[in-house]
């Protein structure tokens, strides 16, 4: 009797170095969180580019190779705290750099070439600060985070409390 084929839950992200991660954590800690809010741990702070979902584990090497796309390094300036519907607290960029939008589009084409479907909704770059925070109070201002983007990552989301693991950096 055979079970279901093994799968790996994947996403593409801008994955911060420690200095940027520390600044993101400072922003997160500046919010006033309601009881029951689920703040994102420091090691999970990132900007998602594309969510790939559960993929057959046997395809991971092919997916890794197929997602290598050239891109121009760019600066992402984060500093707008927002509360989205359904209690999602985020930090958004002041503007969406053209290079970020091009990287997102190029990765969408790479996903299609791999037979995967990118999400259809409009891309809204952000760092999730917390979930289940409908009455959170966002800081009115904070330090501008100037993040020099030199790479992106293919990340595995491990089930349960397994956290995230970067499978590959692309430069």
Asked about 94 being catalytic, the answer comes back as no
Asked about 126 being catalytic, the answer comes back as yes
Catalytic residue among 46, 86, 94, 104: 46
Phi-psi region of 109 (alpha: psi -120 to 50; beta: other; left: phi over 0): alpha
Catalytic residue among 50, 86, 94, 126: 126
Residue 3, φ and ψ in degrees, nearest 5: -85, -175
Structure token digits, residue 113: 């070439």
Specify the residue for token string 């084409």: 109
- 169 vs 149: CA distance, rounded Å: 12
Catalytic machinery residues: 46, 126
């Amino acid at each position: 009797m055979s079970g279901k084929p093994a799968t790996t839950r994947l996403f593409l992200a801008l994955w911060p170095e420690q200095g940027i991660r520390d600044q993101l954590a400072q922003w997160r800690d500046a919010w006033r969180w309601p009881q029951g809010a689920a703040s994102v741990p420091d090691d999970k702070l990132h900007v998602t580019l594309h969510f790939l979902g559960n993929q057959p584990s046997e395809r991971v090497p092919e997916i890794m190779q197929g997602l290598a796309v050239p891109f121009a390094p760019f600066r992402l300036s984060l500093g707008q705290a927002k509360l989205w519907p359904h209690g999602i607290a985020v930090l958004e960029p002041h503007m969406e750099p053209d290079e970020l939008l091009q990287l997102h589009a190029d990765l969408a084409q790479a996903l299609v070439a791999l037979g995967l479907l990118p999400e259809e909704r409009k891309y809204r770059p952000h760092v999730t600060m917390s979930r289940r925070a409908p009455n959170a109070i966002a800081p009115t201002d904070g330090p501008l985070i100037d993040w020099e983007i030199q790479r992106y990552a293919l990340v595995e989301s491990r089930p349960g409390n397994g956290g995230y693991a970067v499978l590959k950096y692309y430069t």
